[in-house]
Homo-oligomer: A and B are copies of this chain.
């Protein structure tokens, strides 16, 4: 998407430095900082500390993490050769001739790679895309025995995922557009008021976003829309990121507290709610940023349609009961106690809000039961929040329960 007229994505492979680069989203909207992820640890740190966040984006970042793991393996192996350390399990890996001994080394290297992938997948527990992205690239890596081929294939697969996710989001925009156009027609062209929670925008994906894709598409096609942006405590991804994205694209929006949506819906000021998701069961239960469930309850109580936009990489085909089975990450309580922004001089700083002695609990996600979800907007079209309807769009997963 455009930032000040310049094309930008939240993640890209820099062909000059041969490294993965990401926007450090912790600094937005006040500073646009780019970080370089050279190692697996860099990737894990960027995911854990939320330089990158949003289910599709951490899936993509995890995919590039596998690339970093192979680069690091290569470097280890080079160092090992330099030191002629025969005991290093990976020491002969790059040799073209594959002897029996080499095959043993292969196995050790692949075991190392699998362990690194597990570390990547453990960086954040709730979003299923992370495991999905890592596993998909790992599978490709394991097909090759030579480093250069392995490396090239893995980079290609990661870049392929990036493009697929971008295309999926574009399609989500096309399908979701129909819902917004329908409301716009019913309101005779008056602005369609859309409420969203957290940031399921292009910063959370690659392009377009998930929840925001129908908004961008509608805006670009000339539909009059206005977006209520939940600030989304504790990390204010709505106030910081969604407001920034929409503003840069020229979309009318208003920041509200997470408390406000119910009141707005009671008074007819919300036409549709569209959110993203970090993991969705095959039965339609939705794990998303904490507080989503409360908005779904309010939408249900006021007959406001509540849609969840997602690429199919966010479905966890192995789960049936979201409330029971989706792991909910607990993060550092200081994310609640401290709030980041700019002071009067424009310095980015944090302030402590509650008493120094008061503790906090920081559950990062909640689960919205399918009964509160009007429907899903996916790359293949719109379906209802039921196993039957979801599988009608994704029949290849009909038998695939873990």
Contacts and interface: CB of A to CB of B under 8 A. Distances in A.
Contact of A351 (B256, B289, B291, B342): B342
A264 B363 CA distance: 9
Interface string A346-372: 000111111101111111011100000
A359 B251 CA distance: 12
Interface stretch (A75-83, A145-153, A233-241): A233-241
Contacts of A358: 229, 239, 243-244, 247, 253-255
Interface in A279-309: 289-291, 293-295, 297-298, 301
A333 B229 CA distance: 13
Given A233-B233, A255-B358, A261-B294, A266 B343 contact: no
This protein's copies in its complex: 2
Interface of A, secondary structure class, is mixed
A175 interface: no
A295 B298 CA distance: 10
B263 A363 contact: yes
A327 interface: no
Nearest to A261: B294
Interface string A206-234: 00000000000000000000001101111
A166 interface: no
Contact of A233 (B231, B240, B289): B231
Contact of A294 (B228, B294, B349): B294
Contacts of A228: 361
A240 B358 CA distance: 10
Interface of A: 29-30, 228-229, 231-234, 236, 239-240, 243-244, 247, 253-264, 266-267, 289-291, 293-295, 297-298, 301, 323, 328, 333, 336-344, 349-355, 357-363, 365-367
